[in-house]
Amino acid sequence: MNLAGKTICLGVSGGIAAYKACALTSKLTQKGADVHVIMTKHAAEFVTPLTFQALSRNPVYIDTFDEKHPEKIAHIDLADKADIFLLAPATANLIGKLANGIADDMLTTTLLATEAPVYIAPAMNVHMYAHPAVIRNMQQLDDWGYHFIEPEAGYLACGYVGKGRLEEPESIIRILEERKEPIRDLAGKRVLVTAGPTQETIDPVRFFTNHSSGKMGYALAEAAARRGADVTLVSGPTQLTAPRSVKRVDIASAQDMLDQVLARYEEQDIVIKAAAVADYRPVQTFDSKMKKKDGNLSIELERTTDILQTLGQRKQHQYLVGFAAETDNAIEYGKGKLERKRLDAICVNTVGKADSGFQSDTNEVIYLNKEGKEQHLPTETKKQIAHRILDEILEDMEADRK
């Protein structure tokens, strides 16, 4: 990426490494970037705002309520116009605030308002960097799509030697320059993804469900959104957080999912049904908790509506993709479902292995389409597999247009 003409918001937090942010500001400005510095009050104890103002040739922001231009709300204006948001140095405190949605100063308020890619360059004591809370917070931010610029190992200002030293300004700039522009090949497309398990109620304290974590569906929704799509995620109960740009619709039962998907189906361009939907539900449910009795218990089950088959029957212009989680003869069963349910493509994966299927962070998928393509996608993270699946879908849609 050429940084010339790019608007970069540089967030400087209160650590001794703030002095390196001065050189970073100067070098970014020399590259032709329009640099706007936002400092925490603690950062201003290490380096004066005047230094950054002289180096960036722009006003420096510290106080949320210090509105320098009456016609603009400063934190919203900066959040909107940023092409890149860079945090250098990022202290453990700043990382913790961002991971927990705390917006109590100018920097964190602007961060929560921006949709620009955020790059985080941590700098802290080696033991702080290894603390479980810091690791958890960084993992949360990574899951949300924030980019980390790893600190160096070496002599730290506190006297320790280890990992935690802010990466050098030249290296940070190189990382930004090597960043590829996001692929926007789904811009203008409406994509609906289903994810997670469903729950079929027995009584107020019990239900039937399955082992689906929702990770694959959420990864697909995130990948489609990053590529410019208008994404709706219809999700069963999970512990996952959808990206802010994705419209999430929460459901519980198979019938709930059917109703919500059908209500939006007509306007979609691509529908990917990655949810693990219950095939059966109890015929009878109870308003009060069932009490334990002697002997065995039998619960009569009835079929739920096959959502994927219903969508196949009603398909008009939509590109419809299903998922098949199998334990045996995966390709054979996948091909049968592809034809029987009038799908355009199906992603087949074998569950039960440690590195694929439910709960795992990785997956291995075989992508089959109606034209006979059989594309094996080897084991990668579910986020990587999601982009591979979208690549296959777009390739097929382009071929259909020819």
| 115 plus 257 within the same structural domain | no
| 206 plus 342 within the same structural domain | yes
Judged against a pLDDT cut of 60, whether residue 165 lies above it is answered with yes
Question: Tens of pLDDT along 199-226?
Answer: 999 999 999 999 999 999 999 999 999 8
Report whether 330 contacts 352 (CB < 8 A): no
Judged against a pLDDT cut of 90, whether residue 359 lies above it is answered with no
CA distance 304 to 327: 22
**Residue 359: inside a domain:** yes
| 245 plus 159 within the same structural domain | no
Instruction: Identify the CA nearest to 196 among candidates 313, 342, 323, 381.
Output: 323
Higher pLDDT, 67 or 180: 67
Instruction: Identify the CA nearest to 84 among candidates 185, 207, 193, 1.
Output: 1
CA distance 338 to 340: 6
| 144 plus 174 within the same structural domain | yes
Strand, helix or coil for residue 323: strand
Judged against a pLDDT cut of 60, whether residue 155 lies above it is answered with no
| 244 plus 264 within the same structural domain | yes
Q: Which H or E run includes 95?
A: helix 92-99
Question: Tens of pLDDT along 44-76?
Answer: 999 999 999 999 999 999 998 888 777 788 899
Among 178, 205, 237, the domain boundary falls at 178
Report whether 344 contacts 312 (CB < 8 A): no
**Residue 2: inside a domain:** no
pLDDT band at 31 (very low <50, low <70, confident <90, very high): very high
Annotated binding residues for CTP, written as ranges, equal 279, 289, 323, 337, 341
Average pLDDT in the chain: 91
Among 178, 202, 233, the domain boundary falls at 178
Question: Number of folded domains in the chain?
Answer: 2
| 64 plus 164 within the same structural domain | yes
CA distance 92 to 204: 43
**Residue 1: inside a domain:** no
List phi, psi (to 5°) of 326.
-125, 160
Query: How many angstroms separate the Cα of 23 from the Cα of each of 30, 52, 205?
Result: 11, 9, 60
Owning domain of residue 113: 7-178
H runs (alpha helix) in 125-253: 126-129, 132-143, 169-178, 215-226
Q: What is the DSSP string of 50-87?
A: HHHHHHHSS--B--TT--SSTTS-HHHHHHHH-SEEEE
Q: Which residues pair with 155 in a beta bridge?
A: 161
pLDDT mean over 265-278: 97
- Predicted TM-score of the model (pTM): 0.69
Report whether 374 contacts 323 (CB < 8 A): no
| 372 plus 227 within the same structural domain | yes
Judged against a pLDDT cut of 60, whether residue 15 lies above it is answered with yes
| 21 plus 102 within the same structural domain | yes
CATH number of residue 15's parent domain: 3.40.50.1950
**Residue 55: inside a domain:** yes
The tokens of 41 are what?
């009050």
**Residue 391: inside a domain:** yes
pLDDT band at 310 (very low <50, low <70, confident <90, very high): very high
Query: Which residue is it, tokens 């290296």?
Result: 171
**Residue 185: inside a domain:** no
Report whether 149 contacts 89 (CB < 8 A): no
Using alpha carbons only, what angle is made at residue 120 by residues 118 and 121, rounded to the nearest 5 degrees? 150
pLDDT mean over 116-140: 91
CATH number of residue 317's parent domain: 3.40.50.10300
Q: Among 56-60, 230-234, 371-375, 381-385, where is mean pLDDT lowest?
A: 381-385
pLDDT for residue 80: 93
Among 116, 147, 178, the domain boundary falls at 178
Helix axes 215-226, 382-401, angle to 10 degrees: 60
| 157 plus 246 within the same structural domain | no
Query: How many angstroms separate the Cα of 7 from the Cα of each of 116, 227, 245?
Result: 10, 21, 21
Cα dihedral 55, 61, 62, 68 sign: positive
CA distance 47 to 376: 54
| 147 plus 237 within the same structural domain | no
Strands of 252-397, DSSP E: 270-273, 280-282, 301-303, 319-326, 345-350, 362-369, 374-381
| 263 plus 296 within the same structural domain | yes
**Residue 183: inside a domain:** no
| 103 plus 229 within the same structural domain | no
pLDDT for residue 163: 64
Tell me if residue 22 is catalytic. Answer: no
CA distance 128 to 197: 38
Annotated binding residues, written as ranges, equal 279, 289, 323, 337, 341
